[in-house]
Structure 1
Amino acid sequence: MGDTVRDTALKRIGRVMDRFGSRYYLRPLNGGCEWDAHPDDLRPATASDVLAPAVAEANQRSSKGEPA
């Protein structure tokens, strides 16, 4: 529990919160609603996987002229 993983089916990054039967329950790194995933769809998250959403958000703000 607590590992950061990439759900390849949904293309989302999450933290493993629990496992029940053959399903894992993940939560977004910044909190939010959990989702379930099949173990075959999970891969360890890389540093790039974890940083990509923050970089995309900063780039979007920058393109609108907002401060990063």
Structure 2
Amino acid sequence: MHEQQFEEFIQDVLITIHANIRDLEEKRTFADSEEHDYIDGRLFSYGEMLAILRSSARDTGIDPKRIGL
């Protein structure tokens, strides 16, 4: 895989993750209390995933901001 393809792949994944987070935050506004736990769990998982990606980027010498983290 070429560097540009890899960067486009990562950016596409990050765009999807950020869109999913925004969607869940919007849904949480209208959700009942039972749905809040489920949504909060998913939001936590997405947050953890982004933290792992940021850490891995730094560990491999990639500026997290450069790839949209």
Shorter-chain TM-score category?
0.3 to 0.5
Highest RCO, 1 vs 2 (Cα 8 Å, sep ≥ 6): 2
Taking structure 2 as the reference length, the TM-score comes to 0.33
Report the TM-score, using the length of structure 1 for normalisation: 0.33
